[in-house]
Amino acid sequence: MASHMKSTSSTVTSSLILPEQRVLAVSDMTVRFANSERTVDAVRNLSFHVDRGETLAIVGESGSGKSVTSLALMRLVEHGGGKIVNGSAALRRRNGQVLDVVKAGNATMRDVRGADVAMINSGALRFDDVMPAGPITRHMIEGIFLFADETRAVTFPITGERLRALLENGVSITGLGSGPYPQVSGVQFAFDARRPSGARLVGDLRRGDGRLLAGTDTVRLTLVTYPACRGGDGYKVPEAQAVCKALEANPTSAPRTADLVIRHLESMNGRIVPPPVGRVTRLDR
């Protein structure tokens, strides 16, 4: 994607001042993929801006850098071995704060993308086979999430104390090794299955970066609709009531988990990286 897309508007300054109507301003951005054999600039010296109420369509032939641009703005391109090596991308957040997403840390970007913690009940994953080495197809991913509408992802605020209660449900005597058991991201916890249900978590909850997640803290949790909106697998989540009501009015407003997984795999550019260990520690083994 070449520099002919450059906007004639003013570039982003070091103080990250945007005109009042501007939501996003990308200036001179270059995204590079490098390995031992070669280096490729998938996007080079790209500049554009988007104002409030505008819709920008990026078009081009396959391989022109459309997807790389989107993934770079979400800072997901790094999962696929890419790196933003030049330029800036000033984003005006909903609270009015202007942020350069190129320089933002991982914790900040998780907040920008909409959730601090993500959780999915194991019952949503219907796959007992081992995927052989080789290409992962869309059909394979769709086969894991057989209940597309019940695995749409909704995001809502919840306290650390209430998040702990949800995790307790997931590792209870009825949850452990069954449908309620939680697969998590952005949170670390330990549990002991020898303890009674409802009191199996041991010690503090920790955020993905290791910081304490206190009971009085509020985080944004992404959870699939079966437990969040329907009380499936024994989960009771009144905090999700508002987003679930909005979903009833517009059933496609929440993304399908299958699509989120596919988008993540695409961002890895064919290079599958195992997730970090230590998110869940079982103490009775």
Residue with tokens 């059933």: 251
**Single pTM value for the model:** 0.69
Q: What are 46-93's pLDDT values in tens digits? A: 999 999 988 888 888 888 888 888 888 888 788 667 899 999 999 988
* Mean pLDDT to the nearest integer, 197-209: 95
* Mean pLDDT to the nearest integer, 18-23: 90
Q: How confident is the model at residue 15 (pLDDT cuts 50, 70, 90)?
A: low
Phi, psi of 140 (to 5 degrees): -65, -45
Neighbours of 8 (CB within 10 A): 6
CA angle 130, 132, 137 (to 5 degrees): 100
Residue 167 identity: L
Distance between CA atoms of residues 153 and 40, nearest Å: 35
Contact between residue 171 and residue 262 where contact means Cβ atoms under 8 Å apart: no
Distance between CA atoms of residues 48 and 72, nearest Å: 14
Phi, psi of 136 (to 5 degrees): -105, 120
9-35 CB burial, b ≥16 within 10 A, e <16: eeebeeebebeeebbbbbbebbbbbee
Handedness of CA 121, 124, 129, 131 (dihedral sign): negative
Closest CA to 18 of 74, 89, 90, 86: 90
Closest CA to 25 of 45, 3, 9: 9
Alpha carbon distances (Å) from 52 to 22, 39, 109: 6, 36, 21
The DSSP code for 152 is B
Alpha carbon distances (Å) from 261 to 32, 136, 145, 267: 23, 11, 10, 10
Q: What is the pLDDT of residue 85?
A: 95
Neighbours of 118 (CB within 10 A): 23
Q: Is the pLDDT of residue 167 over 90?
A: yes
Q: Is the pLDDT of residue 243 over 80?
A: yes
Q: How confident is the model at residue 1 (pLDDT cuts 50, 70, 90)?
A: very low
Q: What is the pLDDT of residue 217?
A: 95
